Amino acid sequence: MHRPEPNMNLAAHILKQAELSRERIALSFEGQEWTYGEFAVRVYRLAGLLKSRGVCMGDRVAFLGFNQPAFLEAMVATNALGAIFVPLNFRLTGEELTFIIGDAGVHTLLVDPLLTDIIEPVVDRLPCQHYFVVGQEQGAFAGLEQAMESAQSIAEAVFLGPHDTLLIMYTSGTTGLPKGAMLTHGNFIWNNVNASYAFGGVRNDITLSAAPLFHIGGLNTGVISALQLGNKIVIMRHFDPGAALELIEQHGVTHMFGAPAMFLFMSQHPAFAQSQLNTIKIFIVGGAPVPEPLLKLYDSRGVQFCQGYGLTETSPFSAFLGPDKALDKLGSAGLPPITSGVRIVDADNQPLGANARGEICLCGPNIMKGYWNRPEATADAIDAQGWFHSGDIGYLDEEGFLFICDRVKDMVISGGENVYPAEVESVLFGHEAIAEVAVIGLPDDQWGEAVTAVVALNEGQSLTLEALRQFAQDKLAKYKLPLRLHQVDVLPRNPAGKVLKFQLRETFR
């Protein structure tokens, strides 16, 4: 007897769970709550609105906004139609967004009312056929709520396979132009299977969504799996350490994902000592190892960390370090999850033994489909055997625990944000005082790494950090602006002319 294959559309899974969990609370946001039944009604209606505006299977629908229920509604509604969701980084400038929206060929754009002023100046250069603002009509943006009132809901989510693209998430490239990682429905589903084996997730857990949802970590490290389980998600529009502590206590939060800096800021808040953290089962951390003093401080409050390693291209879960090994393997990214693999290779793509440093390569059903419109970049990133080349340098110890040492691409991680030096350098080089510039990351207690500009100036010129930041502020997102400035007579280079960035890091560390 033939058995029909299951629908692998993630939206279908979430909407099915909503049907089974109608009375349970799905979302809590700024004093309001929505049940799963209410969430599903809005998703079906939003999907109907998008369909009435011509959104078809494979079309791209983008969302530019701070964390809010409309983000998740838009994603699930888009996927219910078989369309592709494009989450946009709300920290980017209009110029940066113009490239991404154009590259993705976005059909419909949904915008936060607080961010329309970023899009309005560049609208005439965008390919979008429809623009909606969350809430009521605002200038040239149609009001999403008004439009949904007259929309006819769709009946069900379309049938999709595991290799169909769920979203395109843009990650900055070393050339300065972002690349869109195509993540599939299967990628998301298998990522969360891995996560469930690694650090659990049961009915009645409560997740605090404090990291930006446009990031793969903020979106798919707890939030999507909570929807799949029918659990409550408490959404913060912006992370605030004091507010996070309040919400944990108020809602009995059990899980939260964040960068180490977020948990550091919470621990430094005056309310930390009195805050009730007894409902927390685990804090999940990505972006950098948790420093030992912070591990011990939270441990004294009965709170443990599950640390992880991953990238946008890996959906993101590629390695994890459980709390039982946090101190024994201090600084490690941990072990690969159950359906995934990690290996270290040399320059000839040959596997290396224990403690030998090389490029970190990852495999598994969580690895992206490829880069949108970038077949060459895809071929460079995923080899013929299916291993994704991360561009990070690391090693495996004798027990197989992964340690990350450096980045092939010189990427800087500042406050959990990926900053690519080539992009920043190309902007800073335009300053009339600068003869040459190199951007590096230097250790920083607050941000993990500080974006640092090392410059050689033209004769007779002077430059301050404030003037440099002011020059670049309209061309670069705030988190990409230099936090430090160092001046040299000439940048050190090797015989081939490449700047010796390791030397600069040693000099100014």
* Together in a domain, 127 and 16: yes
Per DSSP, 125 falls in state: G
Please give the pLDDT value at position 399: 97
* Together in a domain, 360 and 422: no
The answer to whether residue 450 is domain-embedded is yes
* Together in a domain, 284 and 171: yes
Give 13-52 pLDDT, tens digit per residue.
Answer: 999 999 999 999 999 999 999 999 999 999 999 999 999 9
What CATH code is carried by the domain that includes residue 171?
Answer: 3.40.50.12780
* Together in a domain, 102 and 168: yes
The answer to whether residue 331 is domain-embedded is no
Give 100-124 pLDDT, tens digit per residue.
Answer: 999 999 999 999 999 999 999 999 9
Please give the pLDDT value at position 456: 92
Q: Could you give the 3-state DSSP secondary structure of residue 133?
A: strand
The answer to whether residue 256 is domain-embedded is yes
Final residue belonging to a domain, choices 409, 436, 454: 409
Helix 69-80 with 36-52: angle, nearest 10 deg: 60
Q: How many domains does the chain have?
A: 3
Q: With 0-12 CB in 10 A as exposed, 13-18 as middle and 19+ as buried, what is 487?
A: exposed
Per DSSP, 138 falls in state: B
Please give the pLDDT value at position 303: 97
pLDDT (mean) for 54-61: 98
What CATH code is carried by the domain that includes residue 399?
Answer: 2.30.38.10
Band the pLDDT of 1: cuts 50, 70, 90: low
What CATH code is carried by the domain that includes residue 462?
Answer: 3.30.300.30
The answer to whether residue 126 is domain-embedded is yes
Give 293-326 pLDDT, tens digit per residue.
Answer: 899 999 999 999 999 999 999 999 999 999 999 9
Give 192-246 pLDDT, tens digit per residue.
Answer: 999 998 877 789 999 999 999 999 999 999 999 999 999 999 999 999 999 999 9
Share of the chain above pLDDT 90, in %: 81
Range of the domain at 399: 339-409
CB 244 within 8 A of CB 236: yes
Give 149-193 pLDDT, tens digit per residue.
Answer: 999 999 999 999 999 999 999 986 544 578 999 999 999 999 999
* Together in a domain, 387 and 429: no
DSSP line for 170-233: EE--TTSS-EEEEEEHHHHHHHHHHHHHHH---TT-EEEE-S-TTSHHHHHTTHHHHHHHT-EE
Band the pLDDT of 494: cuts 50, 70, 90: low
* Together in a domain, 133 and 236: yes
Final residue belonging to a domain, choices 364, 384, 409: 409
Please give the pLDDT value at position 257: 96
The answer to whether residue 149 is domain-embedded is yes
Long-range contacts of 155-159 (CB under 8 A, 24+ apart): 155/44, 156/12, 156/15, 156/80, 157/7, 157/9, 157/11, 157/12, 157/15, 157/79, 157/80, 157/81, 158/9, 158/57, 158/80, 158/81, 158/82, 159/7, 159/9, 159/12
Please give the pLDDT value at position 175: 47
Which helix (H) or strand (E) segment holds residue 491: the answer is: none
Q: What is the pTM of this model?
A: 0.86
* Together in a domain, 358 and 216: no
Band the pLDDT of 354: cuts 50, 70, 90: very high
How many angstroms separate the CA atoms of 111 and 97, rounded? 12
* Together in a domain, 110 and 196: yes
- CA of residue 442 relative to chain centroid, distance: 22
* Together in a domain, 358 and 430: no
* Together in a domain, 239 and 280: yes
Q: Could you give the 3-state DSSP secondary structure of residue 308?
A: strand
Residue 235's beta-bridge partner residues?
29, 209
Band the pLDDT of 406: cuts 50, 70, 90: low
The answer to whether residue 310 is domain-embedded is no
The answer to whether residue 304 is domain-embedded is no
The answer to whether residue 280 is domain-embedded is yes
How many angstroms separate the CA atoms of 285 and 289, rounded? 8
